[in-house]
Structure 1
Amino acid sequence: MAAPVTSAASDTAEIRKARGAFFTPEPVAQHITDWAVRSPTDHVLEPSCGEAAFLLAAVHRFGRTPDLQLFPDLALMRPEGKIVLDGIELHEPSAQAAQRLLDQAGVTARVQTADFFTIPPTGKYDAVIGNPPYVRYQDFSGEARALSRAAAAAAGVSLTGLASSWAAFTVHSALFLKPGGRLGLVLPAELLSVNYAADVRRFLLERFRSIDLVLFKERVFPGVSAEVVLLLADGYDQGPTDHARVTELQNAAALGQKPHWRTFRPRRAADKWTPALLAGDALTAYASLIDGANFTELETWGDTTLGMVTGNNKYFTMSPAQAAERGLSASDLIALSPPGSRHLRNLALTTRDLVQLGADGQSTLLFRPQDEPSAAAWAYIEAGKEADVHLAYKCKVRDPWWRVPYVPPADLFLTYMNADTPRLTTNQAKAHNLNSVHGLYLRAPFRAVGRSLLPLGSLNSVTLVGAETVGRSYGGGLLKLEPREADLLPVPHPDVLTAAAIRLKAIRPKVARRLRLGQLNAAAALVDHVLLVGELGIPVSDVASLHEEQQVLRARRMARGAEAKPLP
């Protein structure tokens, strides 16, 4: 992760951003250090130390009076009588500045200028503390990425090409600890939610005796919207643990307050930790429900798959009027749920709905000759070649270029990008779908009840909370749900919907009406009353807690998207 050697004066915000450096507020550095460094004889490492904010916090923890004289208890230190602190920093001017500050503090410290990933783990430190560099995967490439992935792989952690720099840094840092050592890091809140961190989450639970997570309601870094979490992992090589303790504070100034801890147990070690964001009562209710027999993962119902990929939607999709203008035959076209998902916010997409969408000028047809194209289709294919449609990547790699790979109509549609929450919609029109929505193909035993009731039954507060925890926030605060994330969505078990069928069907018209009016919360309240309270006997107070927390999670996601800015 080579960086040009620059003077301190030329270390601009852009240069710092390129290497993922941003400065840690003093209360945060001191809090982590006070937790991790527990004895004047601790051997402490700060990788990517910048100007040694955490090492200097260790000096103040066990080394300084206001007049910068050593405390008397430093006689208990190592034989040389000096506290031992090590730092590693890629940026040479910062490393030199850190060394000067530590020398002025009168402690034994060594700051090495090096790429952290090139240094073999020593396994000798009592505490590894710091704020890892944050470089997004788009800018984290070449030798830097190769070194980081190799370092993570040495610990049995596999990282994808989407991993940002902090993920491998966290794993590599842990390997420098001696058994029983403590890892205290400032990490992006991505730790809780992104798919590429699954192996990092598994690694932490398997290797450490205990894990504490400190979250914040307000931004920790002024002017930066990215959320952070303080990872406090204790007892290296003394794991595994099956849970983490979580606390949420208002801001960094509240770190001195006594925390209120709650316990979070992921169902699987690699699962997302986003349920940890739930308040205590809602977390307890949610955990008990998804671990019980009444809720299951969507994968139980069937397979969620990507839709058809055209390579050029503008060319391949069209309205009925456009198809007629081009003289295309019925054999040249197949029925299509139009691109996007705005029209999939009700319980079903009917043939009547599809006809109306087409009459309104939406693209309800896909150009895909089934056998020999008609004369008009051949003319349209030639027009496509003249417009270089055949040169698009997805077109170039298939033969013939104009025949889109076929995906049969799904039983249900599942929306992919959502401002409110993912929606399941019954595909009564038997339309095909593009990759702007997913298709759910129900297993044979559940097909009838699934097509009839799953879109309705999924509008409950448990599933709505689950969507916020298994999905991930995207640009603008949208909630994105990939197929493998959708597989984990908690939904009512088929037996539950079968048992509640009569009462659910009775409220279907009211729910459908509210959905048409855009009243999602009112629709969900109807389903909660029938399904959660009436059928499953869940206390009204628990249902209310779940509903409230879903609103909090959604508001948090939307606020994050609205304020999104790049890290400095």
Structure 2
Amino acid sequence: MQNEKMNPMNHVTDLPSLVSLALDLGAEQIPGWSDKEKELANEAPTGRCDASGIADLIRAGSDPLGDAFCSIRDAESRRPLGQTYTPAPIVSSMIKWAGQRGTPTRVVDPGVGSGRYLLAAGREWPGAFLLGADVDPIATLMARANLAVNNMASRARIELVDYRALDLEPHEGMTAFIGNPPYVRHHQIHTEWKKWLTHQASEFKLPASQLAGLHVHFFLATAKYARPGDIGTFITSAEWLDVNYGRLVRDLLLNQLGGEAVHVIDPSASPFADATTTGAVSCFAVGSSVKSMRLRSVKAVKDLGSLKGGRAISRERLQEATRWSPLVRVTPKLEEGLVELGELCRVHRGQVTGANAVWVADPSAVKLPNDVLYPSITKAKELFAAGENLNDLSSLRVVIDLPSDLDELDTASRRKVERFLRVAKKQGADATYIAKARKAWWSVGLRAPAPILATYMARRPPAFVRNDAEARHINIAHGLYPRDELAPAALDGLAHYLRTSVTLGQGRTYAGGLTKFEPREMERLPVPHPEVLLHHAAADAARLEPKRA
């Protein structure tokens, strides 16, 4: 009994008990009840505890319901719905920014969760109507309970509905769209909603990719609902700054949404307890003409403040840029003796085969001439396993890279290749997008061996491996190709320096914890000048040389 008084949430160990608690706290007071919520309420156990202690915690600003939900349903289970709950300091910064723009008379949270944004908004603006949407009935029940405890039932409504289908009525005064749109990858988005994205974007005369994640859909839905004079601030994964499908968000901010600023949180700050990602807080004022936007990078959540500051980047430059993250970062002045890797090497991603099941094979399982079989790095783990040097090809698979002109082959080889190609066509290898773009669909076109190979996407810093065995590589790795000839000792020193100095913070971290280094990002890494590399190599050799008697 003493433990329960110390922690009144001890009894909430599963979802039914969480639903029961939400009901005890007054969830039924908030309008918008759905049939699914009613079913959960009817099935919930009753008489579990006295909820008064928990209500005190909620009124004091805590979110015990949301915390319990995240404990009961772990991060992996919440990922399909993109349920990542926002820490209070980030919520506070976003509310402060909105308050600088005026006093909203309505606040809309597109993915309400347990209601953290609506509660903060309700406290900040006592006259604002609070509207939240979510597709999870457990979440909507929690939001209802939190709002009820804070005496906001008379000016709140929660809808169990997909935000894209929300029936948002016209409203007098300023609407503030504030929240954390769910991060769901395109693979889990239904075809009908992908069609919705394309159609709705066409209404704004904007291109849209069906590879877009759900957060992109939510930006577009907001552009559909919002009216001039409305404002908004969303926190999302930052990948839309750079990827092709993120162009829609960039276009919306430059046009319909009236973007004011983007604040990028360094991934090392770990803004979310259960998701490793580079977060981006976007701020927009609908109807404003965008002549420039402020872009800012912060090292820690506490540095967000009230979302002021940042470098003003002109509309023209933003329109021209295919990626915005380089515009966010202020390139520091390099220390003496350091240059950017791109001054020494071009970084090229490996070739895309278009059909790995056809063009990548175990050398013992394919009956083709040896001179069209190229031992290659086809998995990132092969580079991680290689250590400092790749000097053995025996464990690698081969990429089948045929010449564009098959007349180059002798008669016996030509016969084997044509037999293979008949099988490849049956597997559809000639019909892929990549194959159709080639001069000859059967010719993969591998690059020459790169003296240094690097991984570029993982949950750990990249591996940089000296390619002494001269393996080829496909698009799971980058190849570093010197612009001018570098001595072997300089290449050894360069790979060693990169292995020991590059950190995850220098890449771009996606929701889920994967950090990616695009070729141009890798080229911006600071490295020693070749003369410095050779000097260190000579010094190391001298230390290792046995002393003469």
- One fold, TM greater than 0.5? yes
Are the equivalent residues in 1 in contact too, given 2:453–2:467 (CA < 8 A)? no
Partner of 1:437: 477
- From 421, 424, 429, give the equivalent of 1:394: 429
Are the equivalent residues in 2 in contact too, given 1:219–1:226 (CA < 8 A)? yes
Identical-residue share of aligned pairs (%): 19
Are the equivalent residues in 1 in contact too, given 2:349–2:476 (CA < 8 A)? no
Partner of 2:534: 505
Distance 1:62 1:137, change over 3 A: same
Are the equivalent residues in 2 in contact too, given 1:297–1:487 (CA < 8 A)? no
Kindly provide the CA deviation profile for residues 184-241 of structure 1, in whole angstroms up to 9, marking residues without a partner as x: 334345566766435535754783344445678676666x335574726265526422
Kindly provide the CA deviation profile for residues 280-312 of structure 1, in whole angstroms up to 9, marking residues without a partner as x: xxx76x43449x9x8568499657253262845
The reply to whether residue 105 of structure 1 matches residue 145 of structure 2 is no
Partner of 2:106: 44
Partner of 1:233: 283
Partner of 1:89: 133
Distance 1:474 1:121, change over 3 A: same
Deviates more, 1:415-424 or 1:142-151: 415-424
2: distance between equivalents of 1:512 and 1:148?
61
1: distance between equivalents of 2:230 and 2:219?
14
**5+ residue gaps in structure 1?**
64-82, 277-282, 515-568
The reply to whether residue 287 of structure 1 matches residue 332 of structure 2 is yes
2: distance between equivalents of 1:174 and 1:111?
21
Are the equivalent residues in 2 in contact too, given 1:47–1:87 (CA < 8 A)? yes
Partner of 2:522: 489
Partner of 2:117: 54
Distance 1:317 1:384, change over 3 A: same
User: What amino acid is aligned across from residue 48 of structure 1 in structure 2?
Assistant: P
The reply to whether residue 246 of structure 1 matches residue 298 of structure 2 is yes
User: What amino acid is aligned across from residue 44 of structure 1 in structure 2?
Assistant: R
The reply to whether residue 7 of structure 1 matches residue 47 of structure 2 is no
Are the equivalent residues in 1 in contact too, given 2:359–2:400 (CA < 8 A)? no
Distance 1:460 1:186, change over 3 A: same
Distance 1:362 1:178, change over 3 A: closer
- From 421, 446, 463, give the equivalent of 1:407: 446
Distance 1:338 1:148, change over 3 A: closer
1: distance between equivalents of 2:153 and 2:125?
13
Distance 1:165 1:317, change over 3 A: closer
Shift of 1:132: 2.0
Are the equivalent residues in 2 in contact too, given 1:183–1:233 (CA < 8 A)? yes
2: distance between equivalents of 1:20 and 1:173?
18
Distance 1:502 1:213, change over 3 A: closer
Q: How many residues align?
A: 453
Partner of 1:307: 351
Distance 1:200 1:60, change over 3 A: same
Are the equivalent residues in 2 in contact too, given 1:182–1:234 (CA < 8 A)? yes
Distance 1:329 1:217, change over 3 A: closer
Kindly provide the CA deviation profile for residues 423-443 of structure 1, in whole angstroms up to 9, marking residues without a partner as x: 66777776544344345677x
The reply to whether residue 161 of structure 1 matches residue 210 of structure 2 is yes
Partner of 2:14: none
Shift of 1:144: 1.9
2: distance between equivalents of 1:462 and 1:329?
37
Q: Secondary structure at the match of 2:193?
A: helix
Are the equivalent residues in 2 in contact too, given 1:462–1:490 (CA < 8 A)? no
Distance 1:473 1:212, change over 3 A: closer
Are the equivalent residues in 1 in contact too, given 2:347–2:519 (CA < 8 A)? no
Deviates more, 1:332-341 or 1:102-111: 102-111
Distance 1:128 1:298, change over 3 A: same
Deviates more, 1:300-309 or 1:446-455: 446-455
Distance 1:383 1:333, change over 3 A: closer
Kindly provide the CA deviation profile for residues 354-385 of structure 1, in whole angstroms up to 9, marking residues without a partner as x: xxx24x55456857586446658857986998
Partner of 2:485: 448
User: What amino acid is aligned across from residue 161 of structure 1 in structure 2?
Assistant: Q
Partner of 1:117: 164
2: distance between equivalents of 1:218 and 1:468?
10
Shift of 1:46: 0.9
**Superposition pairs for residues 18-417 of structure 1, below 5 Å?**
20=82, 29=91, 32-37=94-99, 41-48=103-110, 50=112, 53-63=116-126, 83-85=127-129, 87=131, 89=133, 91=135, 105=152, 107-108=154-155, 115-117=162-164, 125-151=174-200, 158-173=207-222, 182-188=231-237, 190=239, 196-197=245-246, 200=249, 204=253, 207-212=258-263, 224-227=274-277, 229=279, 231=281, 233=283, 235-236=285-286, 237=288, 239=290, 240-244=292-296, 246=298, 248-249=300-301, 263=310, 271=323, 273=325, 286-289=331-334, 298=342, 302=346, 304-307=348-351, 309=353, 311=355, 317=361, 322=364, 332-340=371-379, 342=382, 353=391, 357-358=392-393, 360=394, 362-363=396-397, 366=400, 368=402, 371-372=408-409, 375=412, 391-394=426-429, 403-410=442-449, 412=451, 414-417=453-456
Are the equivalent residues in 2 in contact too, given 1:205–1:243 (CA < 8 A)? no
Distance 1:45 1:132, change over 3 A: same
2: distance between equivalents of 1:212 and 1:405?
41
Are the equivalent residues in 2 in contact too, given 1:135–1:165 (CA < 8 A)? yes
Are the equivalent residues in 2 in contact too, given 1:474–1:480 (CA < 8 A)? no
Deviates more, 1:157-166 or 1:265-274: 265-274
1: distance between equivalents of 2:267 and 2:389?
40
